[in-house]
Amino acid sequence: MPSSYRRVRIATEQLAAPLSAEDCAIQSMPDASPVKWHLAHTSWFFETFVLKPHLPGYQLFHPSFRVLFNSYYNGIGDKHPRPRRGLLSRPSLEEVDAYRLHIDAAMAELMDRRTLPSTISALVELGLNHEQQHQELILTDVLHLLSCNLKPAYEPSIAAADAPIADAPPLTWIEFGEGIVDTGHDGSQFAFDNESPRHRQYLNGFSLASREVTNGEYLAFIDDAGYRRPELWLSEGWDWLAANSIDAPLYWQRDGRSWLKFGLHGLRAVEASAPVCHVSLFEADAYARWAGARLPSEGEWEVAASGRPVEGNFVESGSLEPTAANAATVTLSQLFGDVWEWTRSAYAPYPGYRPAAGAIGEYNGKFMCNQYVLRGGSCVSPASHLRATYRNFFPAAARWQFTGIRLARDSG
């Protein structure tokens, strides 16, 4: 546990390293948080749920941090309003760094003191997976922040991002038969509570596209007036388009007759063979209708991904951008990494789901309303954080995450 703890904590700090104190303090929209807040909140989690209850004599770093860095745990007490996190000029970044050191020292004391009971070890493991979620949020939130500026790069171009992108392989369809299937986590290793219990469901026969939808394919949708055809859109999505004057994925902009896309390496030409990214559920659903297909259910996605290795383009790859599918792959590719794939499934509890007792039970269950499930991870997800049963979730209009599209269709 100590080595995995240090590895995750160091990875978070490395993601913040290219940023200035000013970068780390700003909040670009209510859905995003300042990097400084992410650095502090992930430490607050260990302090609140592990150290204060389980390390005798532990001293809080600062009493006000209990409120400032509480995200949504009503059982803990008061919270600083989420839309106003960017107003926290204090504590300084230096003080937040000191807070992290304080937490790390106390955690080392706890872990070195004795063999931890399974209940405490489980909380530490949850805290590490929680921090990995915030590692991804650091990158997605920074991307949105820099897009509101003069579009400077988070990180200069590197070989992994500058390498030529090959053509995407032709899209083919992979068939899956009908039947009763087991889905959900089996409990053998770590998983979040929303991945359980394992349960049975019936699936009709279906097909999944062999890879994710590319920018080039999505450009054809745009050129065919896809954003101006109401018959393709859910009613709420059509109203969302009009209210926000949307005519392309987030971070795209026209350059004469071409398109540019802003990413963590700066403003670049849209790569036709790379997966389309930063689209909402509304856009994903409209594209699927235009293509004569649909979005998969999360059960279909999980059946397709079950038993497959978690391989792909993750944050460790260094590209920080979606990349084209491997042309040599003749079966399903890109199930993990590159972009989170929207499903048509509402984020709801599995049969028999029960949240944990106490404030820690607020982690997932209370968000099972008005959101949709995404699967597979992205190019800014840590590889060790993902599995076939992992359920991410966002509202239908969200698109500042690395979200994309895989098509499905009914068999027969």
Q: Rounded distance, CA 356 to CA 198, Å?
A: 16
Q: Closest Cα partner for 315 from 144, 139, 106?
A: 139
For position 50, which CATH number holds? Answer: 1.20.120
Q: Rounded distance, CA 311 to CA 333, Å?
A: 9
Which of the four pLDDT bands, split at 50, 70 and 90, describes residue 156? confident
Claim to verify: residue 275 and residue 173 sit in the same structural domain: yes
Claim to verify: residue 71 and residue 179 sit in the same structural domain: no
Q: Which domain does 399 fall in, by range?
A: 159-410
Upper half-sphere CA count for residue 400 (Cβ side, 13 Å):
19
pLDDT at site 162? 59
Residue 53 has pLDDT above 90, yes or no: yes
The region, left, alpha or beta by phi > 0 then psi within -120 to 50, assigned to residue 175 is beta
What's CA 270's distance to the chain center, in Å?
Answer: 22
Give me the mean pLDDT over the 192-210 stretch. Answer: 97
Claim to verify: residue 287 and residue 209 sit in the same structural domain: yes
Give me the mean pLDDT over the 239-257 stretch. Answer: 97
Claim to verify: residue 197 and residue 224 sit in the same structural domain: yes
Instruction: Identify whether 300 is part of a domain.
Output: yes
Q: Rounded distance, CA 321 to CA 313, Å?
A: 8
Claim to verify: residue 370 and residue 390 sit in the same structural domain: yes
pLDDT at site 172? 95
pLDDT at site 115? 79
pLDDT digits (tens, 9 = 90+) for 302-338: 999 999 999 999 999 999 999 999 877 668 999 999 9
Last residue of a domain, one of 147, 173, 194: 147
Claim to verify: residue 102 and residue 176 sit in the same structural domain: no
Give me the mean pLDDT over the 75-93 stretch. Answer: 96
| pTM for this prediction | 0.96
In this structure, are residues 300 and 176 in contact, taking their beta carbons and an 8 Å threshold?
yes
Q: Rounded distance, CA 391 to CA 398, Å?
A: 16
For position 177, which CATH number holds? Answer: 3.90.1580.10
Residue 159 has pLDDT above 80, yes or no: no
Claim to verify: residue 33 and residue 135 sit in the same structural domain: yes
As to burial, measured by CB atoms within 10 angstroms (0-12 exposed, 13-18 middle, 19+ buried), residue 157 is exposed
Count of structural domains, the chain: 2
Average pLDDT, the chain: 95
Claim to verify: residue 235 and residue 307 sit in the same structural domain: yes
Q: Rounded distance, CA 100 to CA 56, Å?
A: 19
pLDDT at site 163? 61
Which of the four pLDDT bands, split at 50, 70 and 90, describes residue 188? confident
In this structure, are residues 248 and 222 in contact, taking their beta carbons and an 8 Å threshold?
yes
As to burial, measured by CB atoms within 10 angstroms (0-12 exposed, 13-18 middle, 19+ buried), residue 222 is middle
Instruction: Return the percentage of the chain with pLDDT > 90, whole number.
Output: 92
Claim to verify: residue 63 and residue 84 sit in the same structural domain: yes
